[in-house]
Chains A and B, each alone.
Chain A
Amino acid sequence: MQTTQRDNEAWLADLNARGRIQQQALTDLGDALFRTLGRIRANWTYVDDSFLEDVVQETLMQILEKLEQFQGKSRFLTWATSIAIHIALSKLRRKQWQDISLEDITLNGDTTVVDNFMTGDEVEINRDQSIIIDRMHSLIDSELSDKQRTVLLAELKGLPQVRIADLLDSNRNAVYKMGHDARKKLKQALEDSGLGIEDINSAFSA
């Protein structure tokens, strides 16, 4: 059956089958993903056919493992493509940041960061921003655990979660939770100190 002729039920049936039927479905799905990734590869540097082939193979394996998670609320190919793009970008992010350590990112990454920021020569901050940043100065240091501070600063510096997770021997959901917990703590602490969310938004929305 041609790729474009399968509906969601047919994809599920064929991929859940065994033998030749499943193999044909995997081949068709792999071809479709390869073509789609090929069309968006211009977004990525240093991506060749063998990279895309690796992504496709890993995607096919993951799809077989999580087939029961597909709820049929989108086209099957859309769901499969979302997984393929995630796998491709995770590989590229790991590669791009492979030589960076957490220490490179967060060295002196406590309140010194904000001190340096506030005395930087290219900085233009208005008075409202200055008050909030000043509070943040001590809150990052006093409210966050070491891991929360590390994750937050690493994220702000652009380190991808997948790489932070690798460096912390963790996973990206745990990293997201640490970053989320850090943001919640800082938000609460700012509010406790008399600065509400509206103040923050209006001061930094320019």
Chain B
Amino acid sequence: MTLDKKQINGLMQLIGLTRDSEINCDQCLNLIAEFAERELAGKSFPESLEKVEHHLSICRECCEEYRLLIQALKTMDEDEPDPSPPRL
């Protein structure tokens, strides 16, 4: 099994982004809702949320969850009371 050039590039970029102190995925999850709302509102991030931005640049999985959250939030404002049948 080999690493292709994309994977090697990925490793190098990750190393370039690596900090001595980083938040982990659970810490990111705890902050992601606030981060997403600020992003959608075009608000700047306080220092406490800058760590989230950095984590998202490192962590593919949290980044995927974040993108879906943004997508979901854009639809939630359409969520008027009971437009669709209730679930079982």
Q: Interface residues, chain A, CB within 8 Å of chain B?
A: 2-5, 30-32, 34-40, 43, 49, 53, 56, 69, 73-75, 77-79, 81-83, 85-86, 89, 93, 104-109, 113-114, 116-117, 120, 122-125, 129, 132-133, 136, 152-153, 156-157, 160-162, 172-173, 176-177, 180, 183-184, 186-187, 190, 197, 200-201, 203-205
Q: How far is the CA of A31 from the CA of B82 in the complex (A)?
A: 9
The count of A-to-B residue pairs whose CB atoms sit within 8 angstroms is: 158
B75 x A39 contact (CB < 8 A): yes
A81-B72, A125-B5 known; A172-B16 Cβ under 8 A: no
B contact residues around A53 at 8 Å (CB)? 87-88
Interface of B is mostly: helix
Query: Chain B nearest CB: distance from A145 CB in Å?
Result: 17
Q: How far is the CA of A155 from the CA of B22 in the complex (A)?
A: 17
- Give the size category of B's interface with A: 35 or more
**22 sample A-B contacts, Cβ–Cβ < 8 Å, listed by A number:** A3-B79, A5-B81, A37-B72, A69-B30, A73-B33, A78-B73, A81-B69, A81-B72, A81-B73, A85-B69, A86-B65, A107-B1, A108-B1, A122-B5, A124-B5, A136-B8, A160-B61, A161-B61, A184-B18, A184-B20, A203-B12, A204-B16
